Amino acid sequence: MQITSKAAALASAAALFIGALVTVTAQIPLPGQLPGVEPLHESGQDVTPAFEGWFKNPDGSFDMLFGYQNRNLKEEIDIPIGPNNKVEPFGPDAGQPTHFMPRRGWGVFTVTVPKDFGNKKVTWTLSTAGKTNAIPAGLDARWEVDALKEVTSGNTPPVLSFGPTAGAPPANQGPKSFNVPPLTATVGQPLALSLFATDDGKTRSQARAAAANRAPVVNVTWTKYRGPGTVTFANAKPAVDKDSHQAQTTATFSEPGAYVLRVVGNDASGDGGGGFQCCWTNAVVRVTVK
């Protein structure tokens, strides 16, 4: 019997919580903190990889879905591809991020494995702040998720498109990132970023559906995914126009080099589908900065 995506999400949350526990000390906890739980820090903490679950592709292959927990409240961390940021056996570079925003990054990238993968494992390892954290991922039935359609409500992920109109190709739906046509930019000069975002308007609950009627149907967020310098967005969360479905912003780069930007579209279910592993959409934009 297949375990529901809700059960998988709860298991994932429990695993992250356990990872946050530390040895109980005699220190008196600060207000709002639990005894034995590491206090939150603005900087200096490590990054933990997270396995969100897996889902099947139409061709019989499978996608392993990964996220992370940056334990810092403010510090953004860069971990280059290599011994400190590697995916095995398909890496070290399997398309994972090298730039980690503070706190939780839900369903950031996927690793595709063949239909005969069996009981083998994919392991993502991150080493930072003097700690090494690794998460193994496999095709255990308990970790299957409904990333492309939430079965109880019929909710599906938003559609992000980069063509001339809403829904026009190139477009993507779901957490498996796709490559938008590459862009070029110049150091210090804003680069225009524009996309269209549409959604089916469904959510997991009536309360969230009601909230969606008072807010944009899709919320988009831009972040740096890879690159040598700082990326400054005019608005990292540009509003999606309710009539044209278009969202626009700019990105300015501090140094030349090869960058990758990530944009995620969430419906009213919220980040990470509100913990139900559906429904959001990823896209990555490669930018060459001169």
Verify that 164 and 58 share a domain, yes or no. Answer: no
Establish if 149 belongs to a structural domain: no
Verify that 205 and 106 share a domain, yes or no. Answer: no
What is the per-residue pLDDT for 213?
Answer: 60
* Each residue's pLDDT tens digit, 100-119: 999 999 999 999 999 999 99
Domain termination site, one of 112, 143, 174:
143
Domain termination site, one of 143, 176, 203:
143
Domain count, the chain: 2
- As a whole number, mean pLDDT of residues 139-155 equals 90
What is the per-residue pLDDT for 34?
Answer: 52
- CATH label of the domain that carries residue 225: 2.60.40.2410
Verify that 61 and 129 share a domain, yes or no. Answer: yes
Verify that 139 and 15 share a domain, yes or no. Answer: yes
Domain that holds residue 25: 5-143
Answer whether 0.95 is exceeded by the pTM: no
Verify that 138 and 10 share a domain, yes or no. Answer: yes
Instruction: Give the least confident one: 141-150, 227-236, 265-274.
Output: 265-274
Verify that 96 and 132 share a domain, yes or no. Answer: yes
Verify that 133 and 183 share a domain, yes or no. Answer: no
Q: CA-CA distances (angstroms) from residue 166 to 84, 149, 197, 274?
A: 40, 21, 7, 26
Which of 59, 57, 50 minimizes the C-alpha distance to 8? 50
Establish if 211 belongs to a structural domain: yes
Domain termination site, one of 89, 108, 143:
143
What is the per-residue pLDDT for 139?
Answer: 97
Verify that 49 and 96 share a domain, yes or no. Answer: yes
Q: SS3 letters for the chain?
A: CCCCHHHHHHHHHHHHHHHHECCCCCCCCCCCCCCCECCCECCCCCEEEEEEEEEECCCCCEEEEEEEEECECCCCEECCCECCEEEECCCCCCCCCCEECCEEEEEEEEEEECCCCCCCCEEEEEEECCEEEEEEECCCHHHECCCCCECCCCECCCEEECCCCCCCCCEEECCCCCEEEEEEECCCCCEEEEEEEECCCCCCCHHHHHHHCCCCCCEEEEEEEECCCCEEECCCCCCCCCCCCEEEEEEEECCCEEEEEEEEEECCCCHHHHHCCCCEEEEEEEEEEC
**Do 68 and 48 meet the contact criterion of CB atoms below 8 Å apart?**
yes
What is the per-residue pLDDT for 153?
Answer: 82
Establish if 150 belongs to a structural domain: no
Establish if 154 belongs to a structural domain: no
Establish if 28 belongs to a structural domain: yes
Establish if 265 belongs to a structural domain: yes
Verify that 170 and 133 share a domain, yes or no. Answer: no
Verify that 108 and 195 share a domain, yes or no. Answer: no
Across 15-19, 79-83, 150-154, the highest mean pLDDT is recorded for 79-83
Q: How confident is the model at residue 24 (pLDDT cuts 50, 70, 90)?
A: very low
Verify that 134 and 244 share a domain, yes or no. Answer: no
Verify that 170 and 135 share a domain, yes or no. Answer: no
